[in-house]
Amino acid sequence: MRAILLLLILLIVVAIGAIATGFININQTQAAAAPDIDVNQSGVVAKGGQAPQFDVETGKIGVGTQERTVKLPAIEVRPADGAAAQQQQQQANGVATTNATQP
């Protein structure tokens, strides 16, 4: 129930924001008219009436792509002091080092 209420509030806030920014423009083109109601011994009879009509204009969003050149920072990875000393010792002893870790 709380989720439905939260979604309803969110929907109302988005609708208000869209109307306030001019993204949605709503104009009434035809007014509403209540029906004529007659009550007699045989029951209730409703005649006429009309629903209102609206003209709704919405904004457009253009989505596209562009080529851009982006400079990326250079990253240099240095092992910790203990790992660097161990790696140098292994290289001095002629032991090959790998990047894989053993369990």
Beta pairing class for 43-47 and 36-40: antiparallel
Q: Residues of the chain with pLDDT > 90: what percent?
A: 42
- Compute CA distances 84 → 73, 74, 75, 94, 103, whole Å: 24, 21, 18, 15, 20
19 has pLDDT over 70: yes
- Compute CA distances 87 → 31, 91, 92, 102, 103, whole Å: 84, 6, 9, 15, 18
The pLDDT of 33-45, averaged and rounded, is 89
Q: What is the pLDDT of residue 97?
A: 52
The pLDDT of 84-100, averaged and rounded, is 65
Q: Residues of the chain with pLDDT > 70: what percent?
A: 86
Residues facing residue 23 across a β-bridge = none
At residue 48, the 3 state secondary structure works out as coil
Q: What is the pLDDT of residue 95?
A: 58
